Structure formats: C-alpha cells, structure tokens
C-alpha cells in the first residue's frame, strides 16, 4: 500500500499523533466522504469549492459543466488541494477548552488534467456515480453524446496526502474529572430518510433494492 512520506507541505504539525500518511487510512476517508472541497488559487485569489468526487486508485476524479471555472482551472495543471471530512461525533468535555469532535479527514495535494480519452471519461463518470449511489450506473440511462460533450472530467493524481483522525472520549484535565458535569461523546453519522417518489414517476416503478440498503441509508 502507498505511504505518502511527510514533507513540508503535508506534515501535520498540531497533534501529530493523530496524523496518518498511509493510503490504507487515507483512501477509505476519501471513499466514504460524499463530497470534497477543492482549493485552488486563481489570479492570486484562493477559492475553496465543494464538489462531488470519486477515487480511482491513486487518482481523484471530478466532473462538471464544461463552463465551470473549477473544472477549467483544475484542468490547467496548477496545484490543487482537495479535502474530505467525516464528522463521527461531538466530544463534550467537562471544560470548554477540551471540547472537540471525533473526525476523520484527508488532505490531498495534486494537479489535474482533463480526461484524455472517452474511455477514461466514461470510467470516471461511472466511478463518480457509483461513489454517490452504488448500483445506480447499471440502472440509470447512461450519458448520450450531447451530455458527454457538455461534461468535463478532471483527473487529479494524488502526489501527497495526509489523514488526521480523532476518536474516543474527551481528554479533560485530571482535576476536572471530579466535577459534576456530564461529559462524553454524541456520535454522529449520515442518515438518509425514506425514499420519496418523484411526482412524475411512472406507475408501478418501485424503489430499487440498492437504494434502500442499510449501508447507503445509514439506518
């Protein structure tokens, strides 16, 4: 498995014990996060834009309208910083100072390029669709030529990456454990509600099994 050696750019400085540099930790965070935030600098101005992503091996793929500034900029090969964040719980300590969150986050550095071939573009769109809703690619109508032409796909090879992970109970000051204040963790996770039919849904079309799974809905 890939190990991203710490450099000046990706070395975690605060609480380095929470840092991980191995793909075994980093990649599942990228895969579980529904969206990422892509940071880039255009004409000296930083932008951080939320977008859907997927991982294909050591590459993160992005897609969007051809006219999108994010996609156009990402394809230039200028440096990008992509982050994924999963909040696992609120950490409620006895002292305000030690309140925190349990989280898994990944920060990735790389440069983007446009998909070179139709096959590469097609594979990336499949990966993005399956990232959001496993099973959907095989069920939905696939993009036609017009839709493919309107869509840009950018591939960002992961040059460097870091994960930072916090888990477990609060870490209060020794003398504060005697205080009569509740402390602990309020766990959190993404939960999807029951599927709501499109009002224009044709008669007799039921919710596919792959949508109503515990893995996807979280409940």
Nearest distance from residue 14's CB to ligand FAD, in Å? 28
End-to-end CA distance of the chain: 32
131 makes contact with ligand FAD (CB under 6 A): no
Which of 123, 103, 53, 110 has its CA nearest to residue 81? Answer: 110
Q: Which stretch binds ligand FAD (CB under 6 A): 24-32, 66-74, 112-120, 208-216?
A: 66-74
Whole-angstrom distance, CA of residue 106 vs CA of residue 31: 10
183 makes contact with ligand FAD (CB under 6 A): no
Nearest distance from residue 217's CB to ligand FAD, in Å? 18
Whole-angstrom distance, CA of residue 127 vs CA of residue 187: 29
Nearest distance from residue 4's CB to ligand FAD, in Å? 25
Using DSSP, state whether 120 is helix, strand or coil: helix
Is the CB of 65 or the CB of 190 nearer to ligand FAD?
A: 65
Whole-angstrom distance, CA of residue 190 vs CA of residue 176: 32
64 makes contact with ligand FAD (CB under 6 A): yes
69 makes contact with ligand FAD (CB under 6 A): yes
Torsion of CA 149, 152, 153, 158, to 10 degrees: 160
Report 71-100 residues binding ligand FAD (CB under 6 A): 71
Question: How does DSSP assign 17-39, residue by residue?
Answer: GGEE-BHHHHHHHHHH-SEEEEE
Q: Which stretch binds ligand FAD (CB under 6 A): 9-17, 67-75, 86-94, 115-123?
A: 67-75
Is the CB of 134 or the CB of 170 nearer to ligand FAD?
A: 134
* Residue 137 φ/ψ, nearest 5 degrees: -60, -40
Q: Which stretch binds ligand FAD (CB under 6 A): 47-55, 86-94, 129-137, 173-181?
A: 47-55
132 makes contact with ligand FAD (CB under 6 A): no
Q: Which stretch binds ligand FAD (CB under 6 A): 20-28, 65-73, 82-90, 107-115?
A: 65-73
Strands (DSSP E) contained in 58-167 are 59-65, 79-92, 100-114, 151-166
Nearest distance from residue 151's CB to ligand FAD, in Å? 9
Whole-angstrom distance, CA of residue 30 vs CA of residue 60: 9
Could you list the residues that contact ligand FAD (CB under 6 A)?
Answer: 35, 47, 49-52, 63-65, 68-71
């Amino acid at each position: 498995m890939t190990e991203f050696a710490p450099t000046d750019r990706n070395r975690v400085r605060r609480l380095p014990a929470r840092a991980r540099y191995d793909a075994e930790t980093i990649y599942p965070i990228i895969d579980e996060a529904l969206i990422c935030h892509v940071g880039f600098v255009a004409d000296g101005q930083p932008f951080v834009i939320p977008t859907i992503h997927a991982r294909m091996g050591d590459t993160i793929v992005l897609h969007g309208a051809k006219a999108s500034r994010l996609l156009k900029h990402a394809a230039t090969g200028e440096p990008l910083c992509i982050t994924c964040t999963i909040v696992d719980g609120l950490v409620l300590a006895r002292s305000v100072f030690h309140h925190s969150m349990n989280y898994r986050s990944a920060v990735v550095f790389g440069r983007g390029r446009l998909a070179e071939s139709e096959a590469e573009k097609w594979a990336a769109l499949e990966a993005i669709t399956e990232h959001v809703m496993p099973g959907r690619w095989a069920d939905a109508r696939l993009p036609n030529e017009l839709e493919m032409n309107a869509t840009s796909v950018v591939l960002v090879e992961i040059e460097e990456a870091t994960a930072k992970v916090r888990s477990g109970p609060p870490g209060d000051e020794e003398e504060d454990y005697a205080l009569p204040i509740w402390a602990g963790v309020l766990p959190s996770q993404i939960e999807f509600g029951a599927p709501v039919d499109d009002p224009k849904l044709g008669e007799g079309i039921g919710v596919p099994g792959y949508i109503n799974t515990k893995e996807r809905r979280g409940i």
